A and B are shown apart, each in its own frame.
Chain A
Amino acid sequence: MTRDLYLIKGDLKIIGRDPMLILSFVAPFLLLIIALFLFPIVSQLSIKYFSLPLDSYFLLGSFFFFSLIPMLFGMIYGFILLDERDEGIISYLSITPLGKSGYLRTRMIIPVLASLVFGVAFLILTGFSSLLNWFEIIVITLIVATEAPLMLLFLAAFAGNKVEGIALSKSFGIVLLPVLIDYFTQGNWRWILSFSPLWWIERAIFSLQEYRWLYLAGATVFHGFIIWLLFSRFERKMQ
């Protein structure tokens, strides 16, 4: 565990010396500030001048931001991992007492923990506690937090280098689109949108409460399956 802490200390140095990683690290805080302060102000102005209530849309917006947080943490660690792979550092770490498994454990768990802490705070501060109880907030955040290793492994499995990783991380945004379509449309055809891991979470939050745990179970299985697929591909690529 001490070795993992030294690696984390090194990570903070890496992030602090890369402008793009600094921005990605600050972004979750900016999203929280927007959801916490900007949304209510715009909502009040909208009602005052146009008599148009936007609260439900802002709730969806906040969900978007909430979903982005683990992706951002996953992206940061994905870029660090790509650099380390390019520079042959992963091979070197595998012949130290930290080992490849210790290295990967740290790379996967830290963004999950960061997403979990930040995500719970985000949901509570932005008013989701009126929709969800404590237990649901923690379970949902835990599932959404697995988007972080999902993003990290997606980059590690498909990107040849950091430049490709930047391009791929943008394409990962496609998983957000089904959430929007599902929210604004009706009908069973929307199940075709279930390829997006976030669709299951959106359904769990915004659909009828009686189905909530069903969707959360589906989300857990789906996330686990994709992480397993990506990890297998990453392992093959590392050999």
Chain B
Amino acid sequence: MIRVENLLYSYANQGVPALKNISFKVNDQEIFGFLGPSGAGKSTTQKVMTGILKNYQGSVTLKGREVNNFNKQFYENIGVAFEFPNLYLKFTALENLALFASFYTCEKYDFQELLSRVGLWEDRNLPVEAFSKGMRMRLNFIRAILHKPKLLFLDEPTSGLDPSNSRMLKDFILELRDNGTTIFLTTHNMTDADELCDRVAFMIDGQLPVIDSPEKLKLQHGRKTLKIRYKADMQLETKEFSLHGLGSNNEFLQLINHNEIETIHTQEATLEDIFLAVTGKQLS
């Protein structure tokens, strides 16, 4: 479990703290999403949690151990995929995996299995500098999990991926969670967050005004209405009905019985809408 209590962090040359007394916990085998626009403090939080940034105030414990007291061995349990794929560009995909794997003594995945899973096996002997952004992101992801970490930190994992690879990667992430990995995901992609996260936290200006599951948030903030588009006298019309008593709403029943229906949608709030409503700020 990850537990963060009253975390305060300031960069050396900045007066305003980047993180202002934030507290949250991440349960085992959970995907916890950290959502917010660029510069909100998401990456800073991840850097503190992985021990890259020291000198924080408050408490950050991973598996009961304070981050400041990490020894090198503890990193056998942690995998990190940064937003920008930091790989040896002159090395091939296979050489990159082999070099980084050599730093770990724990059990590792088979490279062929990993590379095949993300569609890079055919390109395994190409230097990474010849890879597209999407290929680098996929390699970056498998590099983070090759030592089967129990805690996985992902920063914008689907950035630069086409829809099919994005789907493949998201399925992989869900599978890792189901197999026991705890995942901390930072993103400003609300679709990813909605699909992947068991709980999300909204981060804005170094603070966390909301922490809850996407489902609960959508229920809390959504309008319980149904929007219907239909054709009437060759014209496209739109009408909205309350979900309450919909089955006995004569106007609604008349409309669907006597008109050609184009679309029907319930008016649930999206995470993007909720973020805007709660923080007053757009995500991107």
Q: Which residues of A contact B (CB under 8 A)?
A: 2-3, 6-7, 10, 13-14, 17-18, 87-89, 91-99, 102, 239
Contacts and interface: CB of A to CB of B under 8 A. Distances in A.
Interface string B28-40: 0000000000000
B111 interface: no
Interface of B: 12, 50-52, 72-73, 75-76, 78, 80, 82, 84, 86-91, 95, 99-100, 102-105
A96 B104 CA distance: 8
A22 B97 CA distance: 24
B86 A96 contact: no
Contacts of A2: 102
B88 A92 contact: no
B222 to A, nearest CB: 39
Contacts of B84: 88
A12 to B, nearest CB: 12
B86 A87 contact: yes
B88 A10 contact: yes
A95 B75 CA distance: 6
Contacts of A17: 90
10 contacts: A14-B88, A87-B87, A92-B86, A93-B103, A95-B50, A95-B75, A97-B72, A97-B103, A97-B104, A102-B72
B105 A10 contact: no
A13 B95 contact: yes
Contacts of A3: 102-103
Given A6-B102, A13-B95, A99-B72, A94 B88 contact: no
Given A6-B103, A17-B90, A87-B87, A97 B73 contact: yes
A91 B12 contact: no
B75 A97 contact: yes
